[in-house]
Structure 1
Amino acid sequence: MRSAEPGVHSAAFLMHILYLDDAGSPKNAAERHFVLAGVSVFERQTFYLETELDKLAATLDHPEPEKLEFHGNQILAGRGYWRKFPQSRRRTVLLDALACVRRLYGQWALFGVVVDKAAVSPEDPVEYAFEEIASRFDKTLRRMHLDGNSQRGLIVFDKSTMETRIQALTTEFRFSGHRNGKLHNLADVPFFVDSAASCLVQFADLVSYALWRRYEKDDSEFYDVIDGMFAAEGGVTHGLLVKRQD
């Protein structure tokens, strides 16, 4: 986990929440990659990221800035409210939104899995990505526990048709295990929320979209803002996996 506030005492931490969203369609043959990614923050620190995104929304002339949603694909494509802005301005908004994470306090980290769908075929890329990201989050919490900073974890997704499937997978991973072991540090099955009500889920959308643009479209401008922010320890990045075709 990264720490943006060295003075925070680790013993105060109780729960880390991993907010996730996906990018790319697992069944669209025209797309090569599927991405699952997001941000893990200590439960009391969500306020800071929400505040930064609210400040950015207030600069965009929306009549109700607190209701403005940040979704990477919609912003870059100029859909809905974003149609009024030129592309250069929309790209700047995306960059500024991603940069908001730099002003988080406490312990936090990004997590992401990029799957070349051909590399895992015939396995479901959604299941592969979730297994990897859940395992990496769980192991990060375990490393914190071994360092004397015991934490529990919770995963929050945007509402989606994957809800029943993801919850079933989590139960299986916790009790029967997966290829990397069992999940030991999650407090419950994932929760699914409306992204309109959660700036953190919207930020997860931006992270997944930045990764998708880098690997699907060879556009690294957005990813460059968050490069180096994925969970790491001892110089080894554990929070980002790119599964390429051999």
Structure 2
Amino acid sequence: MDSGRVPALARAALEAPFEFAYVDETGDKGDPAASPGATRTYTLGCVLVPGGDWTDRLDWLAGVRREFRDAYGILVRHELKANVLLRGRGDLRDLGLGDGQRRDVFRRSLAALTVASSGVFAVVIDKEARPMDYQPEDRAWTYLLQRLRLRSERSGKPIILVHDGGDDATVRAIRRRFRRHSFAPGGVRVTAPLLVEDPVPRDSASSYFIQAADLVAYAAFRRFQAPGAKSGSVCDETMWDELRPVWRTEVTNARRDAIVVWP
């Protein structure tokens, strides 16, 4: 990797005319009280990427993928999401990579975002904390959109939301409702003119940035809910620290690690 490009990418982030916000989820929407197999949390991970030199940032991630190819035989087209790395499934099934090797891939994938991204944060909904008289995805997306609205207002730059395809209609409906009925603390109605267009769905298999958002979501979940001794060999609560240089800590006053937790 050409480390000389890092300062240029950092400067370009300040001058970018707009940002992409790539979002993916981890956890399910089920009620743990009603369905014992449901996850405790529902989490969204967000990766912010400046738009002005987007191709250079994609090239940085592609360079990291080539390093994985050379070290572990992982092809640049292989999809690297959390469930693949945790269990060696999917495209990694036939490579015989151990836990330590897959942890290295997870860690270096996150570390690459400290160069390629202008910020990361996450929203964690703790479904066990209160009776589920709400939709966790609705609450999580609303909190995420609130943070993106504030970021766009402070920077004066438009943000384009890109998410993993699958719940396209749900995400679009939440976004459109947020556009019409959004309130600041104190009940003041606000608008979000710099959150432009409808959310754009992408197939994660074709997007390094969506795959990165998936890893961010899982790392944030593990920061909130530490794994057991056996299940944390690939990603434990310390993995989130790899992203520290690009934590957007302004998203919450309750914590200093860029993770919004509800309630």
Deviations 1:101-148 (A, max 9, x none): 12237xx1112101101345211111111000111011011011xxxx
Please state whether the residue corresponding to 1:130 is helix, strand or coil.
Answer: helix
8 Å Cα contact 1:45/1:104 also seen in 2: no
8 Å Cα contact 2:13/2:50 also seen in 1: no
User: Using the alignment, how far apart are the partners of 2:240 and 2:74 within structure 1?
Assistant: 29
Task: State the identity as a percent.
Answer: 23
Q: Which amino acid aligns with 2:62?
A: D
Deviations 1:33-61 (A, max 9, x none): 11001211111343344223322322344
Q: Which amino acid aligns with 1:126?
A: E
User: Using the alignment, how far apart are the partners of 1:33 and 1:90 within structure 2?
Assistant: 24
| Structure 2 counterparts to residues 6-155 of structure 1, below 5 A | 7-8=11-12, 10=14, 12-27=15-30, 29=32, 30=37, 31-61=39-69, 65-83=75-93, 84-104=96-116, 108-119=118-129, 121-144=132-155, 150-155=156-161
Tell me the matched-pair count.
233
Q: In the TM superposition, what is the alpha-carbon distance from 1:78 to its structure 2 partner?
A: 1.0
Q: Does 1:206 find its partner at 2:211? A: no
Q: In the TM superposition, what is the alpha-carbon distance from 1:68 to its structure 2 partner?
A: 1.4
Q: In the TM superposition, what is the alpha-carbon distance from 1:183 to its structure 2 partner?
A: 2.5
TM-score (norm 2): 0.78
Please state whether the residue corresponding to 2:67 is helix, strand or coil.
Answer: coil
In structure 2, runs of 5+ residues without a counterpart are 1-5, 228-235
Q: Does 1:171 find its partner at 2:187? A: no
2:262 to 231, 243, 246: 243
Please state whether the residue corresponding to 2:128 is helix, strand or coil.
Answer: helix
Deviations 1:144-197 (A, max 9, x none): 1xxxxx21111000111x211111111111122257544232111111011122
Out of 13-22 and 78-87, give the one that drifted further. Answer: 78-87
8 Å Cα contact 1:171/1:189 also seen in 2: yes
Which residue in the other structure is 1:229 paired with? 246
Which residue in the other structure is 2:162 paired with? 156
Question: Relative to structure 1, is the Cα distance of residues 79 and 139 closer, same or farther in structure 2, using a 3 angstrom cutoff?
Answer: same
8 Å Cα contact 2:61/2:116 also seen in 1: no
8 Å Cα contact 1:136/1:238 also seen in 2: no
Which residue in the other structure is 2:230 paired with? none
The ranges of structure 1 where at least 4 consecutive aligned residues each deviate by more than 6 angstroms after the TM superposition are: none
Q: Which amino acid aligns with 2:178?
A: F
Which residue in the other structure is 2:3 paired with? none
TM-score (norm 1): 0.83
Where relative contact order (Cα < 8 A, 6+ residues apart) is larger, the structure is 1
In structure 1, runs of 5+ residues without a counterpart are 145-149
Please state whether the residue corresponding to 1:227 is helix, strand or coil.
Answer: helix
Q: In the TM superposition, what is the alpha-carbon distance from 1:222 to its structure 2 partner?
A: 1.5
User: Using the alignment, how far apart are the partners of 1:101 and 1:45 within structure 2?
Assistant: 15
Q: Which amino acid aligns with 1:66?
A: V
RMSD: 2.8
